[in-house]
Amino acid sequence: MPNSMIKTALYGLAVAVLFSCSGLKPESGTRAPQQQQLSGNIRLNQVGFYPNATKLAVVVGDNSGGKFFVKSTDLQKTLYTGQLTEPKANEFSGRPTRVADFSAFTAAGSYVLVVPEVGHSYPFEIKQNVHREAAAAAIKGFYFQRVSVELPERYAGQWARPAGHPDKNVLVHPSAASAQRPAGTVLSSPRGWYDAGDYNKYIVNSGITMGTLLAAYEDFPEYFASLELNIPESGNGVPDLLDESLWNLRWMLTMQDPHDGGVYHKLTNPAFDGMVMPDAATNPRYVVQKGTAAALDFAAVMAQASRVYRTYSREYPGLADSCLAAATSAWQWARKNPAVRYEQDTMNKQFKPEVTTGAYGDRELSDEFIWAAAELYATTKQDSFYTAVNMLPDQNMPLPSWAQVRLLGYYTLVRLGDSLTPVGRKALPEIKARMVGMADALLDGVDARTYRTVMGKTEKDYVWGSSAVAANQGIALLQAYRLTNDKKYIRGAVSNLDYLLGRNATGYSFLTGFGGKPTLHPHHRPSIADGIADPVPGLLSGGTNARADKQDNCTTYSSTFPDEMYTDDDCSYASNEIAINWNAPFVYLAGGLEALQAKGAL
């Protein structure tokens, strides 16, 4: 069993022990009996806090306020006493909230927060490296998404399963037919990661996912090199994060048509599979239509991978050169075909079988051009890539998402900094200023919010996959820290990790396997079909989505306030699916914070 799982199992045990102790042993004296009860109304990071970090809990609902206590998990010892703030109405629901600030308490250990009249919180820890297991588990989450391979017990524990989707006989869909590869041609396109709760593989979404994971490695190489994940490649001299990413990179390479450099948009079943295990999902699979977004995201990833894996040329001979060649020909295809959008409905009118799986259709392609140009330029130092696009088309600094990848290019240019040519160095001061300005805008007004997280300042943050909004905001803040060394940006990033692990208006920790109240029922086919009570660990739920009830018609939402529209029910693909492009920024945020605290930045 990998460490992270043992840890998760032990953690579950600790919670169980705490429940039974607190039920059986009422404290003597004057304290209200409610103190003995677990309360979901005390919202905090259920994993824990770094000793020097800001430590906040939000107490929701009516109560008379006053003092709060940090106690030992058996409730016997009081280690810190603080004062709750006056109540304030939540910005969306109007619910009364008070904040408990125990930042001044720094002693390592396991604790609960106790609020008289309300109860006690889930247990949490204060210590160095408090998010190490979560960061490692989130990378291991990708291992659990591996396509075309058995997951043996030795690596997968109780979530062991047979191989699914060999993808050795994939058909060319009529939308993707070419002279050399007419419709029905059989291709081999194995490996990769399942995108999400479904079993399809999408180049666009793999693009931002890989870009984010490789960026995490490039920004914090020593830290990620130190993370052992217990995957089959562990111990081979290559950091596990890069070994895991290679599983998907090798699949991506097969998605390029060697005859013209074009890249298929996705490899998919015509329709979503039922809720079955991977090996039971045996419907035919197709590669579907080449597209500009796919070619550019592919080019960006391959250019970046060429840079990153060159260090490991001994372990992976030829890989860096293959990646760069693939990147260049995809880029050339995109330059010749700059506006081939993926429009699934239009395509379905023209070609059969109809394809109804995830579309990842993107209308705006200038950001994909920017990202690909930036990566190709950063890797080759050839000015022609840089000058082929308008790097600063407008003042916008859009938060990264699968459809919007401009900032991935900026992050790379800034990271490579001094090693760039004069052409690329020229705009760096402007790009840096914008990145810091963006981070300042994210921090603006946070302390006046009821949950005091960067995430959720406006309803717009609560989109499908909002957990990735929180994580990507965290990345933007860490980028600003790297530019300025100003700790306020780290504090902002921590506030969003706290959000993801419990300090939010739903009271859930959105990372499976972590916290006293984690997501238990994600829309994730293996977790639904495997007959095992616990979901596959280390997967990030998409989380709160202001429009979820209208998008998946699930009937178990208990609230429709924008910051509370979440249901831990596997019917809810609009609020409770998991996806690789949500896990990746979690890996960056949790891993990046771990790396920075290890260096004493916190």
Query: Catalytic residues, which ones?
Result: 198, 523, 568, 577
Give the shortest CB-346-to-Ca ion separation in angstroms: 18
Check residue 362 for interaction with Ca ion (CB under 5 A): yes
Q: Which of residues 359-378 bind ligand 9MR (CB under 6 A)?
A: 359-360
User: Which stretch in 332-340, 356-364, 375-383, 562-570 sits in contact with Ca ion by CB under 5 A?
Assistant: 356-364
Q: Name the minimum Å distance from CB 64 to ligand 9MR.
A: 43
Stretches 246-254, 327-335, 402-410, 542-550: which one binds Ca ion (CB under 5 A)?
402-410
CA distances in angstroms from 377 to 74, 217, 306, 404, listed in the order given: 58, 19, 12, 19
49 binds, among ligand 9MR, Ca ion, none (CB under 5 to 8 A by kind): none
Contacts from 492-495 at CB under 8 Å and sequence distance 24+?
492/439, 492/442, 492/443, 492/446, 492/454, 493/454, 493/589, 493/592, 493/593, 494/50, 494/53, 494/54, 494/593, 494/602, 495/54, 495/446, 495/452, 495/453, 495/454, 495/455
Stretches 105-113, 128-136, 244-252, 357-365: which one binds Ca ion (CB under 5 A)? 357-365
Q: Which residues does residue 98 pair with via DSSP β-bridges, in sequence order? A: 59
Q: Does residue 297 interact with Ca ion by CB under 5 A?
A: no
- Under the binding rule (CB under 5 A), the answer on residue 363 touching Ca ion is no
Q: Which is nearer to ligand 9MR, 157 or 197 (CB)?
A: 197
Name residue 43's beta-bridge partners: 58
Residue 403-442 contact track with Ca ion, rule CB under 5 A, x = bound: x---------------------------------------
> If binding is defined by CB under 6 A, does position 207 make contact with ligand 9MR?
no
- Nearer to Ca ion by C-beta: 273 or 362? 362
Total residues contacting ligand 9MR by CB under 6 A comes to 13
Q: Does 203 bind ligand 9MR (CB under 6 A)?
A: no
CA distance 551 to 176: 30
CA angle 257, 251, 238 (to 5 degrees): 130
Strand partners, 187: 170
Closest to Ca ion by CB, 294 or 403: 403
Burial classification of residue 536, based on how many CB atoms lie within 10 Å of its CB (0-12 exposed, 13-18 middle, 19 or more buried): buried
Here the tokens at position 62 are 């009516």
Helix ranges (DSSP H) in 145-291: 153-156, 203-219, 221-225, 240-254
Closest to ligand 9MR by CB, 322 or 541:
541
- Pick what 362 binds: Ca ion, ligand 9MR, none; C-beta below 5 to 8 Å, kind-dependent: Ca ion
Q: Does 364 bind Ca ion (CB under 5 A)?
A: yes
Of 376, 394, 396, nearest to 385 (Cα)?
376
User: Is residue 573 a contact point for ligand 9MR (CB under 6 A)?
Assistant: yes
Q: How far is the CB of 77 from Ca ion (least distance, A)?
A: 54
CA-based angle 371:311:423, to the nearest 5? 40
Minimum CB distance to ligand 9MR, residue 309 (Å): 27
- Residues 260-279, interacting with ligand 9MR (CB under 6 A): 272
Minimal distance, residue 404 CB to Ca ion, in Å: 5
When asked if residue 579 is in the footprint of ligand 9MR (CB under 6 A), the reply is yes
> Is 593 in contact with 131 (CB distance < 8 Å)?
yes
Cβ nearer to Ca ion, comparing 112 with 372: 372
Is residue 464 within the footprint of ligand 9MR (CB under 6 A)?
A: yes
Give which of Ca ion, ligand 9MR, none residue 465 binds (C-beta under 5 to 8 Å, depending on kind): ligand 9MR
Backbone Cα Rg of the chain: 24
CA distance 139 to 227: 9
Q: Which is nearer to ligand 9MR, 333 or 464 (CB)?
A: 464
Site string for ligand 9MR, 340-359 (x = CB under 6 A): ------------------xx
> Closest approach of Cβ 368 to Ca ion, in Å?
5
Tell me the CA end-to-end span of the chain in Å, nearest whole number. Answer: 31
CA distance 314 to 275: 42
Instruction: Name which of ligand 9MR, Ca ion, none residue 498 binds, using a CB cut-off of 5 to 8 Å depending on partner kind.
Output: none
Q: Check binding of 194 to ligand 9MR (CB under 6 A).
A: no
Which structure tokens are listed for 484?
Answer: 């300025």
CA distances from 517 to 122, 453, 539, 568 (A): 8, 19, 14, 10
Instruction: Measure the CA–CA gap between 545 and 218, rounded to whole angstroms.
Output: 31
Nearer to ligand 9MR, 197 or 456 (CB): 197
Q: Is 540 helix (H, G, I), strand (E, B) or coil?
A: strand
Residue 42 has, within 13 A of its CA and on its CB side, a CA count of 31
Can residue 400 be called a binding residue for ligand 9MR (CB under 6 A)?
no
- Name the residue among 112, 85, 32, 24 with its Cα closest to residue 502: 112
Binding site for ligand 9MR (CB under 6 A): 195-198, 272, 358-360, 464-465, 573, 577, 579
Binding site for Ca ion (CB under 5 A): 362, 364, 367, 403
